[in-house]
Amino acid sequence: MGVLIVEKENLKHNIRQIKEYAKKNGNPRIIAIVKSNGYGLGLKEYSEFLIDNGIDFLAVANCKEAVELRKFGIKEDILMMSSTAIKEELKEMLENNITIAIGSKEAKENLIEIIKETNIKPKVHIKIDTGFGRYGYLSSDKETILQEIKELEKYADIEGIFSHFSMSFYKEKWTSIQFNRFNEILNYLKENNINIKICHISNSSSFINFPKMNLNAVRIGSAFLGRIAVGNKLGLRKIGYLEGEIAEIKTLPKGWNIGYSNTYTTKKETRIAIVNTGYAEGFHMKLERDMLSFSNKLRYAIQDIKKIFKNTKLYVEINNKKYYILGRIGMYHVTVDITKEEFKIGQKVKMNANPLYVDSSVRRVYR
């Protein structure tokens, strides 16, 4: 099994670039998103690294990760971004000093009930649905939002209010509509003497693409990893790669099949290395297509078709040189052409991987 290598200097570089860009664009507070096992970099290790580099506000997407951070000894602010009406989760977050997102009447009512039971006053961020269609009060229900806040502020410290863009990696039109809807809520609340300290709607893509929408806080996730769906005008560096090693070396005769489905047959005597890392650990898996627009998805489909006809080769890197993969990628192994090379068993191999797809059982190494 390989390990996931996290390049510390590159990660520090990204943090610096993001901080500098923020200072030039309103200087919003940076909320670091560490959901999904710290975007694959390891929840504990990644969170501690961010804190050590000046980030003092973290956010996750579920109660489990929020509580885990407290168990790791993290004392900084932690926002659980997903509104929940599940009483067990609300109580657990109250007891662990987690900032709670509230986006529904049911969540508010259950939270108040548990506050009365525990006598703990939590920090709360109000979640507004401006067109994402998931968590949050509908932005069209202004009066309801106002009344919910007035009731909740008797029991909780309403520290923040936020919404979530759905297409900020693509075109500005829909993002502007969502931004305007959110601002209408903020203005309506101010007109009714409700001034909430922390307001945030921008994620990594909008932070880079539309800095005028930053407000006084931004949520940064993928940008820290340099794996963004927008133009890289901040000079961010991609973070994370798999490191495997050569487990076996052998020579195959001409006309020998390699891998499942016999998709590759040697054209001559070929020296091969078996590398002990495959797709189950995250090698050559991609996320970007899941979130892009139709036109971008179409572009990827065309690229895939071209690869079929061009026979585009996949590769690994050994000593900064490319070596091509023969046959299909296996679950835990790949076969690499090392003809004319004299590598030894145990030789380290660099393999492209998006950390989000790297299995949680794979060890994370900060180097």
Asked if 214 and 249 sit in the same domain, the reply is: no
Number of helices and strands (H, E) in the chain?
11, 19
d(CA 264, CA 267): 9
Q: Which of 225, 256, 279 is the last residue of a domain?
A: 225
Domain assignment present for 1: no
Q: Are 161 and 125 within 8 A, CB to CB? A: yes
Domain assignment present for 172: yes
Q: Which two tokens stand for residue 155?
A: 């029991």
d(CA 116, CA 200): 29
Asked if 256 and 212 sit in the same domain, the reply is: no
Asked if 142 and 110 sit in the same domain, the reply is: yes
Catalytic one among 87, 121, 260, 300? Answer: 260
Number of other residues whose CB lies within 10 A of the CB of residue 264: 17
Asked if 215 and 262 sit in the same domain, the reply is: no
Asked if 208 and 252 sit in the same domain, the reply is: no
Q: What is the CATH number of the domain that holds 292?
A: 2.40.37.10
Asked if 201 and 148 sit in the same domain, the reply is: yes
Q: Which of 225, 253, 278 is the last residue of a domain?
A: 225
Asked if 32 and 146 sit in the same domain, the reply is: yes
Alpha helices (runs of H) in 54-141, residue ranges in sequence order:
63-71, 87-95, 105-118
Cα-Cα-Cα-Cα dihedral sign, residues 153, 155, 161, 165: negative
Asked if 29 and 178 sit in the same domain, the reply is: yes
Beta bridge partners of 101: 125
Domain assignment present for 236: no
- Per the listing, tokens 């930053």 go with 214
Asked if 83 and 209 sit in the same domain, the reply is: yes
Q: What is the CATH number of the domain that holds 58?
A: 3.20.20.10
Asked if 91 and 128 sit in the same domain, the reply is: yes
Q: Which of 191, 225, 259 is the last residue of a domain?
A: 225
Catalytic one among 21, 35, 39, 91? Answer: 35
Domains contained in the chain, number: 2
Asked if 201 and 299 sit in the same domain, the reply is: no
Which residues constitute the domain of residue 338? 241-366
Per-residue pLDDT at 312:
64
Q: Is 260 one of the catalytic residues?
A: yes
Q: Is 75 one of the catalytic residues?
A: no
Q: Are 103 and 147 within 8 A, CB to CB? A: no
pLDDT (tens place) for every residue of the chain, 367 residues total: 899 999 999 999 999 999 999 999 999 999 999 999 999 999 999 999 999 999 999 999 999 999 999 999 999 999 999 999 999 999 999 999 999 999 999 999 999 999 999 999 999 999 999 999 999 999 999 999 999 999 999 999 999 999 999 999 987 999 999 999 999 999 999 999 999 999 999 999 999 999 999 999 999 999 999 999 899 999 999 999 999 999 999 999 999 999 999 999 999 999 999 999 999 999 987 644 444 444 454 454 444 445 444 456 899 999 999 999 999 999 999 999 999 999 999 999 999 999 999 999 999 999 9
Domain assignment present for 2: no
Domain assignment present for 230: no
Three-class secondary structure of residue 57 per DSSP:
strand
Q: Which two tokens stand for residue 365?
A: 């190494």
Asked if 44 and 184 sit in the same domain, the reply is: yes
